[in-house]
C-alpha cells in the first residue's frame, strides 16, 4: 500500500508539472501573438496619435512609440541611415533629429516661406527636392507634415495659413515622387507653441513646419522577422 501511495504522489506531481508546462507555453505563445498584434497596430496608430495630439509633444510621442528588442534595433539602423542622408540633403535649412525609432525634421517657416505666404521659396524647393529623393529611397516609412504659426493674427487666419503651408510641403514631396499614401498633412495654427509668443525669438520658434518620419507597418513586420 505504501508503494502504491508513493507512486500515486509521484504521478500527481508529474501531471501537475506537465500541466504547468503547457500553461506556460500557451501563455508565452499568446503573449508573442499579442505583442506582434500590438506592434502592428502601433505602427498604424502612431500617425493618428501625432495628428490628434499635435507636435507640441512630438518627441515624447515618438520616443514612447518604440518596438524595442531586435526589431527595434533593425528599425533604428534603417532610420539612422535615413537621417544621415536627410542631413546631407537639407544642410542648415532644417534640424534633423533621430527620436526613438523615428525621425523629426524641423524647418523654420521664415526659411521656407515669405511672411503670410505658403509658396515655397526657391532655396527650400531645391533642398526639399533632394529630401524627396531620399524619402523615395527609404520608402518603408510614413511621413507626417505638420504646420504651425505664432499667435499674431486671428486664430482662423493662423489655422488656415498652417494648413496651407503643410499642404504646400506635402504636395511638393508628392510631385517629386513620394507616394501619396505615405503622406499625411495637418495644420495646427497657433495651438501648439514650443516657446513663448511674448518674445520675438519665441514667435520665430513657433513659426515652423515639422516632418515626422515613422516606420511603416511593412518595415515593422520585416524587422520582426529579422530582415534588414
Q: Where are the domains of the chain?
A: 34-224
Distance CA 197, CA 16 (A): 67
3-class DSSP state of 83: helix
Distance of CA 114 to the CA centre of its chain: 28
CA distances to 31, 126, 211, 219, 220 from 63, rounded to whole Å, are 23, 30, 15, 17, 16
Predicted confidence at residue 189, as pLDDT, reads: 94
Helices 155-175 and 122-137 meet at what angle, rounded to 10?
60
Number of continuous H segments (helices) and E segments (strands) in the chain: 8, 5
Distance CA 138, CA 126 (A): 19
C-alpha cell at 82: 535615413
Nearest to 156 by CA among 191, 196, 112: 191
Over its length of 228 residues, how does the chain's per-residue pLDDT go in tens digits?
A: 444 444 445 444 444 444 444 343 343 333 333 333 344 444 556 666 666 655 456 666 676 666 778 888 999 999 999 999 999 999 999 999 999 999 999 999 889 999 899 999 999 999 999 999 999 999 999 999 999 999 999 999 999 999 999 999 999 999 999 999 999 999 999 998 989 999 999 999 999 999 999 999 999 999 988 887
CA distances to 147, 173, 187 from 211, rounded to whole Å, are 9, 11, 12
Distance CA 31, CA 39 (A): 12
118-142 pLDDT tens trace: 999 999 999 999 999 999 999 999 9
Answer whether 150's CB lies under 8 Å from 206's CB. Answer: yes
20-55 pLDDT tens trace: 443 433 433 333 333 333 444 445 566 666 666 554
Residue 146, beta-bridge partner list = 186, 210
CATH code, residues 34-224: 3.30.1330.60
Predicted confidence at residue 45, as pLDDT, reads: 64
DSSP summary character for residue 121: P
Predicted confidence at residue 54, as pLDDT, reads: 52
Answer whether 60's CB lies under 8 Å from 96's CB. Answer: no
CA distances to 145, 170, 190, 191 from 156, rounded to whole Å, are 20, 21, 10, 11
Amino acid at each position: 500500500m505504501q508503494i502504491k501511495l508513493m507512486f500515486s504522489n509521484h504521478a500527481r506531481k508529474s501531471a501537475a508539472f506537465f500541466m504547468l508546462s503547457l500553461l506556460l507555453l500557451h501563455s508565452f505563445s499568446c503573449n508573442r501573438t499579442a505583442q506582434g498584434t500590438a506592434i502592428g497596430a502601433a505602427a498604424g496608430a502612431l500617425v493618428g496619435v501625432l495628428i490628434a495630439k499635435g507636435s507640441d509633444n512630438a518627441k515624447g510621442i515618438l520616443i514612447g512609440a518604440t518596438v524595442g528588442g531586435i526589431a527595434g534595433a533593425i528599425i533604428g539602423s534603417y532610420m539612422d541611415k535615413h537621417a544621415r542622408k536627410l542631413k546631407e540633403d537639407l544642410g542648415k535649412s532644417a534640424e534633423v533629429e533621430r527620436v526613438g525609432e523615428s525621425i523629426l525634421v524641423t524647418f523654420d517657416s521664415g526659411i521656407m516661406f515669405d511672411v503670410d505666404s505658403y509658396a515655397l521659396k526657391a532655396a527650400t524647393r531645391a533642398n526639399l527636392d533632394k529630401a524627396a529623393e531620399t524619402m523615395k529611397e527609404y520608402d518603408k516609412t510614413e511621413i507626417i507634415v505638420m504646420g504651425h504659426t505664432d499667435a499674431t493674427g486671428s486664430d482662423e487666419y493662423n489655422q488656415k495659413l498652417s494648413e496651407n503651408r503643410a499642404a504646400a510641403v506635402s504636395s511638393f514631396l508628392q510631385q517629386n515622387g513620394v507616394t501619396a499614401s505615405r503622406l499625411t498633412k495637418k495644420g495646427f495654427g497657433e495651438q501648439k507653441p514650443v516657446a513663448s509668443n511674448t518674445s520675438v525669438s519665441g514667435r520665430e520658434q513657433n513659426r515652423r513646419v515639422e516632418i515626422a518620419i515613422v516606420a511603416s507597418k511593412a518595415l515593422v513586420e520585416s524587422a520582426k522577422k529579422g530582415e534588414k
